[in-house]
Chain A
């Protein structure tokens, strides 16, 4: 149980294009989803927290207009990197939890984004 999927796992795009990453909780309802960014050999950096049906809460320094997060249902959240640039290249990971059940976050497999 507690499986989270992410799609795509890899994406290569040209500078200036937008990229959408999907995060789905497959066997539970996620009251909250989190989006992280991870650079090589570093820890995870929380970008934003999203609760189903409400606006995402962004961490300080994260541009909300650049990283659009939508959490339209209890099983799906999306992260859109708008007008991507090479510096946006990174490993993006989502996690999900159902606070009604337990406080554990379960993580997706991650999406590697390369912007050329």
Chain B
């Protein structure tokens, strides 16, 4: 069965601190996709990144970086020099790949990040 675990329910940091959000996944599929979404207080989910199972290259986008390690089934997300605007709920999600995939997303429980000024 597919499963995504975000063990950190809430994280509180002070502005300019670095913070890492953990995500561990389980799947039997050899082809799959991993995602991170941000949900600010307004409620809309904002797509941040997609990673394919066959691409373990880490990614950096501005203050955001992602570390994908198949050996530990983890896809962690780091925000460098956090800002108040980063305060939101962050969801990690998994979907199966392959030609017959339904596209369903399996979401983690989410991590609420609070960045204090």
Residues of A at the B interface (CB closer than 8 Å) are 2, 32, 34, 41-44, 46, 49, 57, 91, 93, 95, 97, 99, 102-110, 112
Contact = CB atoms under 8 A, between A and B. Distances in A.
Contacts of A57: 102
B90 to A, nearest CB: 11
A32 B103 contact: yes
Secondary structure at chain B's binding surface: helix, strand, loop or mixed?
A: loop
A17 to B, nearest CB: 23
Most A Cβ at <10 Å: residue of B33, B102, B112? B102
Nearest to B4: A43
Contact of A49 (B35, B46, B91, B104): B104
Contacts of B101: 103
Contacts of B112: 41
Contacts of B97: 103
A43 B50 contact: no
Interface residues of B, number: 23
A108 B44 contact: yes
Contact of A103 (B46, B95, B108): B95
Nearest to A93: B45
A35 to B, nearest CB: 12
B19 to A, nearest CB: 20
B103 A110 contact: no
A95 B37 CA distance: 12
Most B Cβ at <10 Å: residue of A32, A42, A105? A105
Nearest to B96: A103
B13 interface: no
Contacts of B42: 109
Contacts of A112: 43
A43 B44 contact: no
Given A103-B50, A106-B47, A43 B104 contact: no
A44 B91 contact: yes
Q: Which 7 A-B pairs have the closest CB atoms?
A: A107-B45, A109-B44, A110-B43, A43-B107, A43-B109, A104-B50, A44-B107
